[in-house]
Chains A and B, each alone.
Chain A
């Protein structure tokens, strides 16, 4: 298969986010302002015109506000007839006179409402849509769709097949970039389309029983390296986001095309399939300009982006679909357990950094080749964590899927002065010297063998004062296993008789943000053939170890997760380390002394705790 699929989505947002705040500067708020409505509709028309000129069909996601606007409704009907555009319904763009009068709130993000309001809003919006068009939509969406919301929609409107359901790594970083005032906190999901589970939108369904009934698509296709550290809203298939990042000079932004091309290149890792989506809210093309980018440049970038997609289409390299067409295609061509993979390279900063991203229904992880193959992100999807969000729940705004490892939020290898950060890596020691693979920069290669996804790293060189060696790391992800097998093999030694000590370790905690959570309640356990040692986390900096280890594990009840390291051979020592208040982490490890040509195999396993 060779398929690169494109979804283009437009929404007639009668009161664009930003627009009222920016264009209305110095005026009293009035969301019914005539000039605002006219301009908003004009932007939608222009976006549609640009797509159609380039021969694309779009998915028109009607907003609640636009359902009260005859011209917007008429345009949607015409474009459906003439261009084959799909008429869908978004839960973005709720604000309008009718909405404010009924709900008496300025809230506008569907996942943050109380469950009672979510239901009522869904009913209102879907029924109004039906009243206007005479049918129910088959696609919907928002920046985030929580599981309870999706489940309700599917129960009430089972014809819905597709939804924009998250925005990749839009969380604490976006919040901070927006002066701590943009509450879209939903890190930790897949970057490409997936089938959400009924329990948690981020975590893909493992089988029909867990299937929420929709195909989820991300809001934009994001840069998998730049967004992991920087402000996500600068690096995506959203031309004006690229301008926001100031990633252009003299009206040229090759980065946008590099990004699209890199997404296309992901076909190599996903059985020939790749995906892109462009979804620019009208606020980004308003006449006042957007920050330092004038209107003309905003429009030019949209035209250029669309023209580039058209160029690819004309070469037979990309195919446009509406959201519902895509959902149908996805259902036929993908299975629940097939992983989504991306070997991603830096295309902006000129470094040689390379990351490997992996998602399946059991876990999401990221391997950093620039740190010798350290795991820098780990989300235990296998827990299928029930995490209600919105008013009246424990998480009014925070919809992120919790991590065990997130090396940006909870430090990785490097910490200031004391303590440890979250990371999974290997330490090699010899006669009192120790080297962590985090300091060995390398590259990786992807391969596939039956049900195994294999990432093989180029050999790294380790130099002690009295010994040099080369070591190769291989990661194997077996479909459906909820495990990552890691092999560390010594392939060369300057002294073939030397023996080195390998320490495969994982330092972890749990959370969704930069700030520490209480670790009390976590149980750490190391089991050996002869004995088992266990401790309950209490910040006492304790350590335990067993010989002939069979398993070392942590049970984290706060996120209903059991994480363990399992030896792939006999004769390993297993250890655990509790942290302390200044280092609220735990460490699990397996160690063994090995010789040249020998290999240390361990397995990281994730399970639901209860």
Chain B
């Protein structure tokens, strides 16, 4: 097994992102998985995308245009 590199995009670890940590993941081409050096997360691209979607749960006004600031 040779060293890991970067994937198609420089994904951050979704598990760390949800605890306010920006940690680049590395890509293991043998297993086609991204993995985090800091925590235990490992996952394929579609799972990363799904979790990134989930990370937005706290932004309840993600798509809302606000005009009243009182």
Whether B69 and A246, one on each chain, are in contact in the complex, defined by CB atoms closer than 8 angstroms, is no
User: Which residues of the other chain, B, contact A347 by a CB distance below 8 angstroms?
Assistant: 61, 66, 69
- One digit per residue, 1 when the CB lies within 8 angstroms of any chain B CB and 0 when it does not, for chain A 329-362 equals 0000000000000010101111100000000000
Query: Residue A500 at the B interface, CB < 8 A?
Result: no
Whether B24 sits at the interface, judged by CB under 8 Å, is yes
**Stretch of A147-155, A250-258, A395-403, A416-424 at the chain-chain interface:** A250-258
B residues 32-70 touching A (CB-CB < 8 Å): 38, 48, 52, 55-56, 58-67, 69-70
CA distance A214 to B56 in the complex (A): 40
Report the Cα distance A22→B11, complex, angstroms: 12
Measured between beta carbons, the chain A residues less than 8 angstroms from B48 are 292
Contact of B9 among A179, A248, A257, A292 (CB under 8 A): A292
Per the bound structure, the CA–CA distance linking A294 and B60 in Å amounts to 24
Bits for A187-211, please: 1 = Cβ < 8 Å to B, else 0. 0000000000000000000000000
Q: Is residue B30 contacting chain A, with contact meaning CB distance below 8 A?
A: no
Residues of A close to B6: CB separation below 8 A: 25-26
- 8 Å CB contact of B69 from A178, A262, A289, A348: A262
A254 touches B10 (CB 8 A): no
Within 6-25 of B, Cβ neighbours of A (below 8 Å) are at 6, 9-12, 17, 20-24
Collect the chain A residues with CB atoms within 8 Å of residue B9's CB.
289, 291-292, 294
Complex CA gap A22/B59 in Å reads 28
Among residues of B, the one whose C-beta sits closest to the C-beta of A22 is: B10
Question: Separation in Å of the A52 CB from the closest CB of chain B?
Answer: 28
- What residues on A are CB-neighbors of B12 within 8 Å? 291-292
Chain A proximity of B33: nearest CB distance (Å) = 16
B20 touching A176 by the CB < 8 A rule? yes
Q: In the assembled complex, which residues on chain B have CB atoms less than 8 Å from the CB atom of A429?
A: none
Tell whether A288 pairs with B10 under 8 Å between CB atoms, given A244-B22, A249-B63, A349-B59.
yes
**Shortest distance between the CB of B15 and any CB in chain A (Å):** 14
Query: CB-CB < 8 A to B56: which residues of A?
Result: 246-247, 249
Shortest C-beta distance, A325 to chain B (Å), equals: 27
Shortest CB distance B55–A (Å): 6
**Contact present for A179 and B59 (CB under 8 Å):** no
Among B20, B52, B63, B67, point to the contact of A292 (Cβ < 8 A).
B52
A261 at the interface (CB under 8 A from B): yes
8 Å CB contact of B20 from A231, A258, A288, A345:
A231
Complex alpha-carbon distance, A294 and B10, angstroms:
9
> Beyond A258-B65, A347-B66, A349-B59, is A25–B5 a contact (Cβ under 8 Å)?
yes
What's the minimum C-beta distance from B8 to chain A, rounded to whole angstroms?
9
Q: CB distance B69 to A255 under 8 Å? A: no
Give chain A nearest CB distance to B20 CB in angstroms: 5
A265 within 8 A of B: yes
Residues in A neighbouring B11, C-beta threshold 8 A: 291-292
Query: Quick check: A26 and B5 within 8 Å, CB to CB?
Result: yes
CB distance from B26 to the nearest CB of A (A): 9
Inter-chain CA distance A603–B50, complex, in Å, is: 52
Contact of B62 (CB < 8 Å), options: A177, A249, A265, A343: A249
Cα(A291)–Cα(B62), bound, Å: 20
Docked complex Cα distance between A257 and B38 (Å) = 34
Chain B proximity of A184: nearest CB distance (Å): 14
Nearest Cβ in chain B — how far from A315, in angstroms?
14
Chain B residues, Cβ within 8 Å of A343? 70
Provide a sorted-by-A list of 30 A–B residue pairs whose CB atoms are within 8 angstroms: A25-B5, A173-B20, A177-B20, A177-B21, A177-B22, A178-B22, A179-B22, A231-B22, A246-B17, A246-B55, A247-B62, A249-B56, A249-B62, A254-B65, A255-B59, A258-B65, A261-B69, A262-B69, A289-B9, A290-B10, A291-B9, A291-B22, A345-B69, A345-B70, A347-B66, A348-B60, A348-B61, A348-B62, A350-B61, A351-B60
Closest 8 CB pairs of A and B: A350-B60, A265-B69, A258-B66, A254-B65, A350-B61, A262-B69, A291-B10, A347-B66
